[in-house]
Amino acid sequence: MRQVVLATRNQHKIDEVTRILAGAGTEIDVLALPADAPEVVESGATFAANAMLKARSAAAHTGLVSIADDSGLCVDALNGMPGVLSARWAGTHGDDAANLALLVAQLVDVVPVRRGAQFVCAAAVVDPRSGDERVVEGVLEGRIGTEARGLNGFGYDPIFIPDGAELTTAQLQPGEKDAMSHRGSAFRAVAALLVL
């Protein structure tokens, strides 16, 4: 079984990406980023740039093929924000509850027709042996709900409603979410790259 390093310490993301790659029919052993790997400052202006920064760092540290993503929520009424700042929208990186509360508060007076949003995921693959580097992207269109609903998923899942659905992505079963999500789309494309 081929081993790849996923450049994250977020267990939710490790579980999700492992599930997506397995669902794509690949036999890939997804390894978490080692504890002694350096922290990467996500200084890129785009999801793709940040994903590549993380994948390059993990590949350099481990010597293994490394994959990474940068993903977030782009809200129409906020001119595409929080965007690359999604994980730290409320000021502290990874504080999902605070990020959700701030976003809901910012949209409280926004009419439904202006609550459109997109989940975007850029996924990078870096092979330190061949020097090959690739980035693929997945997008899920939808809208922002008025309150958090559901216990599955993480991040902004409890307030994001995909186009054509009434349930939030946090109310979907993991397999249902993977089939339509931005991360599912991006990492299915990664799976195809990894089996080449």
More confident position, 94 or 108: 108
Give me the pLDDT at residue 62, please: 97
**Residues annotated as catalytic (active site), given as ranges:** 70
Of 65, 36, 37, 70, the residue nearest 53 (C-alpha): 70
In this structure, are residues 159 and 151 in contact, taking their beta carbons and an 8 Å threshold? no
Q: Percentage of the chain with pLDDT > 90?
A: 84
Q: What are the CA-CA distances from residue 147 to residues 63, 125, 161, 196 (Å)?
A: 44, 36, 11, 43
- Ordered by where they begin, the domains of the chain are 2-194 (3.90.950.10)
User: What pTM did the predictor assign?
Assistant: 0.92
Of 171, 79, 169, 170, the residue nearest 116 (C-alpha): 79
pLDDT at 115 over 90: yes
Give me the pLDDT at residue 92, please: 86
Identify the top-confidence range among 10-14, 150-154, 160-164: 160-164
pLDDT, mean of residues 158-186:
94
Give me the pLDDT at residue 196, please: 59
Question: How would residue 154 be classed by pLDDT, with cut points 50, 70 and 90?
Answer: confident
Of 83, 179, 167, the residue nearest 122 (C-alpha): 83
Tokens matching residue 189: 């494309």
Give me the pLDDT at residue 83, please: 97
Give me the pLDDT at residue 9, please: 87
30-62 tens-digit pLDDT: 999 999 999 999 999 999 999 999 999 999 999
> What is the rounded CA–CA span in Å between residue 100 and residue 51?
23
Segments of 52-179 assigned E as strands = 66-75, 81-82, 116-126, 133-144, 160-162
pLDDT at 127 over 80: yes
In this structure, are residues 4 and 64 in contact, taking their beta carbons and an 8 Å threshold? yes
Give me the pLDDT at residue 13, please: 86
Give me the pLDDT at residue 161, please: 97
User: Is the peptide bond between 162 and the residue preceding it cis, with omega within 30 degrees of 0?
Assistant: no
More confident position, 167 or 154: 167
Give me the pLDDT at residue 124, please: 98
pLDDT mean across residues, the chain: 94
